[in-house]
Amino acid sequence: MAKVLMKGNEAIAEAAIRAGCVNYFAYPITPQSEVAEYLVKRLPEEGGVFLQGESEVAVGYMIFGAAAAGERVMTTSSSPGISLMSESISYIAAANCPAVFVNIVRGGPGLGGILPSQGDYFQATKGGGHGDYHLLVLAPDGVQEAVEMTMQAFTLAEKYRGPVMILGDGLIGQMMEPVEFPDNLKTEPSNKDDWATNGMDTRKSKKRNLVKSLFLNPTELNNNNLALKAKYDQMKREEIQFEAYNTDGDYKVLITSFGTMSRVCRTAIDLLKEEGIEVAMLRPKTVFPFPEKAVFDAATKESCKAVISIEMNMGQMVEDVERCVKGQRPVTFYGECGGDIPSPEKIIEIIKAMI
């Protein structure tokens, strides 16, 4: 298929339809409202459902209800909205339902600002809601990856019967880039007979299904948590995605970075290479599950003397990086937030000071 020039928010919306999701519930919030404005026109053409809910709290449960009924469903929001949806995400995870949440992150905390940020890394990867759960979190670095990850998200949500999050940022939502929609990323819906609440008549067994998260018996609750943990362990074995950039040579510094920030880091690495300074980058594409071994291996290469995590926040992913490097190399951090983005020149200056 030919490439088309699209704004990130609209490309994510179209990607959901191409992945076979025609159900969308959302509440307006900058900088992602274009997703809703695109889908309100497109979904009727597909015979789908578009509904603007009364709040992000309600939208989260519209998603839960539709997901529990076995239909592919998505919502998109931005940071403060995801905070409100986090209650439902905890329930959806606990009740083992597949759903896709897109967070076009803006600056926080509080109302923060409407410019791009990566301040929701903790919320996305460590659990924004209560209890022991995780989302599978994909962090695209641009519009094309946002499209591909959105399409993959529905397959992964059904494979693990749980919530999957696209952790983007305002840059991805607002910028235009040429994209294509790979047909091979669309998958057939999985069989839901043994769990979906879509009417007993739909099942040969005529057995009723129950979607719930309350386990008053401590052993049953422990078992549900063990089953969830088993899923997260399986994700760690099967779903880790990362990009290794310029890791072949004898680099002295390893940058860790994710999402759009990594594109600036790549430019800095290329410019440093022209000056004969070798720097590599390890970019997690799945921030949960986190590429623990890849980060450790890249950081502990003999030539590598130090690691720096560069993020559009005040230091979040760096905690995972430190955990993975296990004290084998010094790990430092540089970040800006609120909408300011570290420039290649700034990164070059910092790297040069390190070596």
Q: Using CB under 8 A, list all residues that contact another protein.
A: 23, 25, 49, 51, 53-55, 57-69, 71, 73, 87-88, 91, 95, 197-201, 206, 208-214
CB 78 to another protein: min, Å: 20
**CA separation for the pair 246, 47 (Å, rounded):** 46
The residue among 184 and 205 lying less far from another protein, judged by its C-beta, is: 205
Residue (60 or 163) nearer to another protein, CB: 60
Which CB sits closer to another protein, 221 or 271?
Answer: 221
8-18 vs 143-160: helix crossing angle, rounded to 10? 40
* Residue corresponding to tokens 């529990």: 68
Q: Which is nearer to another protein, 1 or 210 (CB)?
A: 210
How close are the terminal C-alpha atoms of the chain, in Å? 46
CB-CB neighbours of 329 under 10 Å: 19
What's the closest the beta carbon of residue 202 comes to another protein, in angstroms? 8
Closest approach of another protein to the CB of residue 153, in Å: 18
- Nearer of residues 23 and 150 to another protein, judged by Cβ: 23
Pick 62 or 295: Cβ nearer another protein: 62
CB-CB contact of 90 with 130 (8 Å): yes
Q: How many whole angstroms separate alpha carbon 295 and alpha carbon 133?
A: 23
Instruction: Say how far apart CA 278 and CA 270 lie, in whole Å.
Output: 9
Residue 183 is given by DSSP the state: G
| Beta pairing class for 253-256 and 306-311 | parallel
In whole angstroms, how far apart are CA 165 and each of 55, 121, 128, 254, 284? 19, 11, 12, 27, 14
| Residue 267 C-beta: closest distance to another protein, Å | 43
Rounded to an integer, what distance in angstroms lies between the CA atom of residue 353 and that of residue 332? 12
Distance of closest approach, residue 17 Cβ to another protein, in angstroms: 15
Smaller CB distance to another protein: residue 197 or 241? 197
Q: Which is nearer to another protein, 97 or 324 (CB)?
A: 97
The SS3 of residue 195 is coil
Tell me, what amino acid is at 275?
E
Nearest to 135 by CA among 190, 97, 182: 97
3-class DSSP string for 229-260? HHHHHHHHHHCCCEEEECCCCCCCEEEECCCC
